[in-house]
């Protein structure tokens, strides 16, 4: 099968295409339903708190930096919206992770005609403890980095917002690209290394996911779409590079 694109962001469009194709769309329904429920609450919380929090943050700005207000206002809003998006996406992903793994498996089968040896619904049910454990492994990886980049976001104008946005993209890529890796028992450390070797693709994919996840209504479909797109990217660019990795234990 030909490679869809060298640009990681194009796999968002590929994800939309795959998510609603015959043989795949029924596996989208459960993660989509979970996403709609949680993000409906997230949308309410975002609109309710953003203006209040932005006003408080801007009040911290010293008088001699008042001229930065017009520049910082949209950047702070973007930062707060991304925080909401990442928080509620993490909760949704923990709940939906077994179904996301199954969805990634079905997308891989559609694209290649093969999948994990121990896949299917029965395999997904058997692997629920490992799948959820992998979600918490991601969270433990994210938390100290979120704190570090969060401090930059608050105390380093402009550069902090830029680094926070790029890190948000990196988190999105790890979150969704991990499903096909984990289906093949590829260790978490190996998965990160493979994605970092393709940092251009990884960041362009993840940053666009992060942006779309912050847009009301669009974010309702982003979890299954991102799983489909990330799996297609894995099939096109990474699958053969990780053939031997599944023989190692998770790290």
**Nearest CA among 139, 141, 54, 127 for reference residue 92:** 139
CA angle 212, 217, 221 (to 5 degrees): 70
Q: What is the pLDDT of residues 198-225, one digit of tens each?
A: 999 999 999 999 899 878 778 778 889 9
Q: What is the pLDDT of residues 223-245, one digit of tens each?
A: 899 999 999 999 999 887 766 55
**Nearest CA among 185, 228, 227 for reference residue 89:** 227
User: Of residues 192 and 87, which shows the higher confidence score?
Assistant: 192
The overall average pLDDT reported for the chain is 82
Confidence (pTM)? 0.78
Give dist(CA 233, CA 3) in Å, integer.
9
């Amino acid at each position: 099968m030909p490679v869809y694109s060298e640009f990681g962001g194009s796999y968002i469009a590929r994800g939309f295409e795959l998510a609603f194709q015959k043989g795949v769309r029924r596996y989208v329904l459960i993660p989509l339903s979970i996403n709609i429920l949680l993000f409906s609450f997230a949308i309410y919380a975002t609109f309710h708190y953003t203006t209040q929090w932005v006003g408080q943050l801007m009040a911290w700005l010293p008088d001699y930096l008042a001229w930065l207000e017009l520049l910082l206002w949209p950047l702070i809003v973007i930062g707060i919206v991304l925080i909401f998006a990442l928080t509620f996406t993490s909760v949704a992903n923990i709940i939906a992770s077994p179904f996301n793994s199954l969805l990634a498996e079905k997308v891989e089968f559609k694209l290649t005609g093969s999948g994990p040896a121990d896949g299917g619904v029965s395999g997904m049910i058997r692997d629920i403890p490992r799948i959820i454990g992998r979600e918490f492994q991601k969270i433990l990886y994210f938390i100290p980095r979120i704190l570090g980049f969060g401090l930059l976001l608050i105390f380093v104008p402009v550069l902090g917002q830029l680094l926070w946005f790029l890190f948000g993209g990196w988190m999105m890529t790890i979150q969704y690209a991990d499903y096909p890796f984990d289906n093949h028992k590829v260790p978490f450390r190996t998965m990160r290394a493979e994605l970092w070797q393709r940092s251009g693709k990884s960041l362009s994919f993840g940053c666009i996911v992060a942006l779309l996840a912050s847009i009301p209504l669009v974010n309702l479909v982003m979890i299954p779409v991102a799983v489909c797109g990330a799996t297609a990217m894995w099939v096109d660019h990474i699958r053969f590079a990780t053939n031997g990795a599944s023989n190692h234990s998770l790290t």
